Amino acid sequence: MYSTCVFCDGGCTFAVDDADGKVTISPINPAMPAICSKAVNWDEIRSHSGRLMHPLKNVGERGEPQWEEISWEQALDEIAEKLRAVIDEYGPEAVAFSEMPLNHGFGGVTRRFMNHLGTPNYITALDLCMGNTAQVHRATYGWFTSANWQVADCIVYFGQNRGPELWPREYLNLKAALARGAKLIVVDPRLTETAELADYHLRINYGTDAALALGWINVIIDEGLYDHVFVAESTIGFEDLAERAGEYPPERVAEICGITADEVRETARVYAGSEAALIPWGATADMQRNSTSLLRGQCILRAICGFLNKSELVYGPASDISLSERLYDYSALSQSQKDKQIGSENYPLFSFKGNALYDEAMRNAGFGFTADIMASSCMAHPSSLFAAMRGEGPYPVKAFFSVANNTVMSYANMQGIVDALMNQYLVVTFEVNMTPTAQLSDYVLPGDMWMERDTVGPMFDIAPIMTTSNSIVEPPVDCRCWYDVVKGLADRMGIGDAFPWCNAHELFDYRFAALGTTWEQARSAPAHPGKTPAFGTFLTPSGKVELSSSVLAALGYDPLPYYEEPTDPLANDDMPFEIFAGAREPANYNTNFHQIGFLREREPEPRLFIHPDDASSCNVVEGAWVRVATGHGAIDLVAHLDPCQKPGTLRVPHGWWKPETEPGLAAGLSSALIHNDGMLFSDEAWNLDPEQGLANLRGGICARVGVL
């Protein structure tokens, strides 16, 4: 039997043995033992004392809850009644959902419910973590790339740190590649464990990654190091790209990035001179002012150097399996409702409008649908949605569902998100813990965890396979799977016919029917590949790799990558530092695990990383509580004097709160309002990537430090 851990997005699969009534887990492949301490201690995590065990109703005030245990029937009845009241008064578009499908295990069912209900206002934190990368890959290749680690002879990491507790499977792949003699280039202002393994460590200035990518493209084109045959036969826009790259000679890039021109040239030559180089995905590229241009630059580098379908595989979606996308049933949502999607005018790349630009390419390739890649196509714009929830949008949004996603802590401008939830008529959270988001809810519904449910994946469409994951144990008696919740609400809202499957296993059988099998037959194998377009098929409007993107041009954007210096209009002379946020710590994953004893012991307090010389200039000593402030907000952290931190910069952790402290808005939502990095960053237009609309957390934002 197999199961897949989703305590992080690494998704490590392992074998399960329950002989003699004792469950043990082990690597599927002993040569790649990718199991971290979180997976090993799965039972301690699922059994922690703070876990939600029963549906709860707030009978107090919003933000200062008084919880009353109620039955599932009462919870679903009352939620449906209030949902109907919102729709009757404001229309179905007044209902919004934020979810993370990976966390609850059911890709597609939320969008299906929303489409039949009539609302286009769906968001996911994948907007700023891999989902946006997928959209930019799609605008270049027509689909996402998959890393072929087995042949890689050069790896380039932009800001990523991998280790036994940070994506262990990829860490083992990296170690194996280095053992074969692969070169490692790390682009990171920090001196990390991964950087210490590198042949080349480029300690660039925060947020200047896009300029470096353009500098590499300049060198590769200028010195003729690109794959002339592939560029001529399989790409469009090379001449325009060459002209744009000419604006970024190594000397200019070196000045922007804070490194030498020789470093730019040498690393470009190493990358282009490889037989099979990799640029693995990393969240650092997803949260910058120039995020789209950086990601476009990475995509272009892969293409012009001839690495596509060697070390960087472009499969495309499978045509013969039931993807999550096919559950969405977008045909149920009228065009007039799609046109109401919030944020689609200013940031259309993620929206229905952006997704429609691939319709013809999908038809030409024989697909009967236009795939929603990574659950982040056909999506509303998060910051614009939160503004509408506050009453600042084109129409009111009055009902909000947070599904396996600690929404309040997951985006920039946490203050504004709190205000948005406070202005709702109905807030429902589906969770396993009493998160800060749950504390602002009217109803909190207890969910199951990955080891307690059978699952068919992937949860979002990016790989051409169907996967299975088996439950290890039964969930607590009153903790339900997300499909049961959706089915219960659909029946009550009069759209039950759209969910004819009585339970999750009937839904699984429906999905596996396309492969001529059933859940029971399929569950013994962890993966079931589907049919994909032949290598060399690019599902872009042109049918080629678009070095100059027709999709971006059609949406009114620059079709080529560029570098724009980030600005901070909220800064003043009292803010001498540049701040970096969002780095993951080994003991945590996003906002999770702060209540788990053995993990909390490793990271008991939220830490500020500051160079010793900078600390001395601020009279800060090791272990002192300090206040870090930007022009937008401030948080309190414990100072850690770190010589690996680049002088003049600060690094703050992501997702910190203290579940053991007092809940409620007046107390800071269990300290989230005191420690979470989302308090520091604005989501106004000046701090957003222009094409995607995601917030800049990594470059150009100024801050100060003061001892408390």
| pLDDT higher than 80, residue 21 | no
Domain membership of residue 546 (yes or no) is yes
Alpha carbon separation from 216 to 236, 438, 522, 523 (Å, rounded): 19, 46, 46, 46
Domain membership of residue 674 (yes or no) is yes
Tally of CB atoms within 10 A around 151: 16
Q: What is the pLDDT of residue 536?
A: 82
Give the C-alpha separation, 351 to 339, whole Å. Answer: 10
Q: What is the pLDDT of residue 274?
A: 97
Give mean pLDDT, residues 180-185: 97
Domain membership of residue 567 (yes or no) is no
Give mean pLDDT, residues 424-441: 98
Residue 219: CATH number of its domain: 3.40.228.10
Sign of CA dihedral 420, 386, 122, 454: negative
Give mean pLDDT, residues 59-76: 97
Q: What is the pLDDT of residue 699?
A: 87
Domain membership of residue 139 (yes or no) is no
Q: What is the pLDDT of residue 634?
A: 98
- Residue 597 DSSP symbol: H
Residue 679: CATH number of its domain: 2.40.40.20
Q: Which of 529, 544, 565 is the last residue of a domain?
A: 529
Whether residues 290 and 321 share a domain: the answer is: no
Selection from 83, 112, 232 nearest residue 507 by Cα? 112
Domain range enclosing 525: 56-123+317-529
Domain membership of residue 563 (yes or no) is no
pLDDT tens sequence across 207-240: 999 999 999 999 999 999 999 999 999 999 999 9
Whether residues 478 and 521 share a domain: the answer is: yes
Q: What is the pLDDT of residue 9?
A: 78
Q: What is the pLDDT of residue 160?
A: 87
Which of 1-5, 256-260, 470-474, 574-578 has the least mean pLDDT?
A: 1-5
Q: 393: buried, middle or exposed (CB in 10 Å: 19+, 13-18, 0-12)?
A: middle
pLDDT tens sequence across 486-544: 999 999 999 999 999 999 999 999 989 888 899 999 998 888 888 877 778 899 999 99
| pLDDT higher than 70, residue 458 | yes
Q: Give the phi and the psi of residue 559 in degrees, each rounded to 5.
A: -75, -5
Which of 366-380, 387-401, 435-449, 505-519 has the least mean pLDDT?
A: 366-380
Q: Angle CA(157)–CA(158)–CA(162) in degrees, nearest 5? A: 50
Regarding predicted confidence, which is higher, 627 or 586?
627
Which of 171-175, 344-348, 532-536 has the least mean pLDDT?
A: 532-536
Whether residues 391 and 497 share a domain: the answer is: yes
Share of the chain above pLDDT 90, in %: 77
Whether residues 487 and 539 share a domain: the answer is: no
pTM of the shown model: 0.96
Domain membership of residue 130 (yes or no) is no
Whether residues 278 and 334 share a domain: the answer is: no
* Average confidence score pLDDT of the chain: 93
As for how many domains the chain has, the answer is 4
Q: DSSP letters of 158-189?
A: ES---BTTBSHHHHHHHHHHHHTT-EEEEE-S
Q: Which two tokens stand for residue 543?
A: 């049918």
Whether residues 373 and 434 share a domain: the answer is: yes
Which of 288-297, 445-454, 456-465 has the least mean pLDDT?
A: 456-465
Give mean pLDDT, residues 17-41: 80
Residue pair 237/546 in contact (Cβ under 8 Å)? The answer is yes
Give mean pLDDT, residues 21-31: 79
Sole residue written with tokens 């460590």 = 201
Q: Band of the pLDDT at 323, cuts 50, 70, 90?
A: low
Q: Band of the pLDDT at 322, cuts 50, 70, 90?
A: low
Whether residues 26 and 167 share a domain: the answer is: no
Domain membership of residue 129 (yes or no) is no
| pLDDT higher than 90, residue 22 | no
Residue 481: CATH number of its domain: 3.40.50.740
Domain membership of residue 591 (yes or no) is yes
Q: Band of the pLDDT at 11, cuts 50, 70, 90?
A: confident
Residue pair 50/434 in contact (Cβ under 8 Å)? The answer is yes
pLDDT tens sequence across 570-608: 999 999 999 999 767 788 888 999 999 999 999 999 999
Q: What is the pLDDT of residue 128?
A: 79
Give mean pLDDT, residues 550-563: 97
Q: What is the chain's Cα-based Rg?
A: 24
Q: What is the pLDDT of residue 125?
A: 85
Whether residues 487 and 345 share a domain: the answer is: yes
Query: Which positions are annotated as active-site residues?
Result: 9
Whether residues 178 and 305 share a domain: the answer is: yes
Whether residues 308 and 386 share a domain: the answer is: no
Whether residues 104 and 166 share a domain: the answer is: no
Is residue 504 classed as helix, strand or coil in its secondary structure? helix
Whether residues 633 and 503 share a domain: the answer is: no
